[in-house]
Amino acid sequence: MNPFEETITSIFNSPLEIGLRILYIYNELFPKGCDLQRLIYYDYLLLHSSDVANGPKSIHPKIPLRAAEILVKRDLIKQGLTLMISRQLLKSSFETDGIIYFATELTSPFLEFNKSDYAKELKEVSKWLVKEFENYDDMKLSFFIKNNLDVWGGEFSNESLLRGMYNE
């Protein structure tokens, strides 16, 4: 590779993008926190809020099999957490239940600098998310997610099956 060639790094689904996004969740949870598994669920619900009955319009588009994001984003979310902790925008605590992550006193002032429409949507949907699910214990939230995995993104399954039948 030529050392003078520019390398292109995608910000979409990078630890930076996910880290910034999860700051909005922890900011709404403050002073409470949550563990990695709950955060993975919250991240999905933040992006695809219209998958929940009476949820607000989703921030990201409905794509086929989008529920698989819950299964594949764990490492990226961990990297995003690590990045935000290294910048003192999140902190971790070792609790009896495991590692819990929290916003810091820097999180809210940091987020106030972002005035984009996307940031405004993240803030509003994060408020809804925390209000909607903060009273779900871990088991109830896990049950809710697992009961809907086949539905979220599954609306495209029948369409693709029909296309296959008529394109033969």
pLDDT, tens digit, for every residue of 6-51? Answer: 555 566 678 999 999 999 999 999 999 999 999 999 999 999 999 9
Q: What is the pLDDT of residue 9?
A: 59
106 domain-assigned: yes
User: What is the per-residue DSSP string for 138-164?
Assistant: HHHHHHHHHHHTTTTTTHHHHHHHHHH
Residue 101 has which token pair?
């992550």
pTM: 0.84
156 domain-assigned: yes
Spans in the chain with pLDDT lower than 70 = 1-12, 65, 67, 153-168
4 domain-assigned: no
Cα within 13 Å of Cα(39), Cβ side: 31
10 domain-assigned: no
Cα within 13 Å of Cα(46), Cβ side: 25
Contacts of residue 107, defined as CB under 8 A and 6 or more positions apart, other chains included, come to 23, 26, 27, 30, 89, 90
Question: 133, 42 in Cβ contact below 8 A?
Answer: yes
Instruction: Quote the CA–CA distance of 22 and 154 in Å, as a whole number.
Output: 26
Instruction: Quote the CA–CA distance of 102 and 109 in Å, as a whole number.
Output: 15
Domain coverage including residue 139: 15-166
114 domain-assigned: yes
Instruction: Quote the CA–CA distance of 66 and 5 in Å, as a whole number.
Output: 35
- What's the whole-number average pLDDT of the chain? 86
Count of the separate structural domains present in the chain: 1
44 domain-assigned: yes
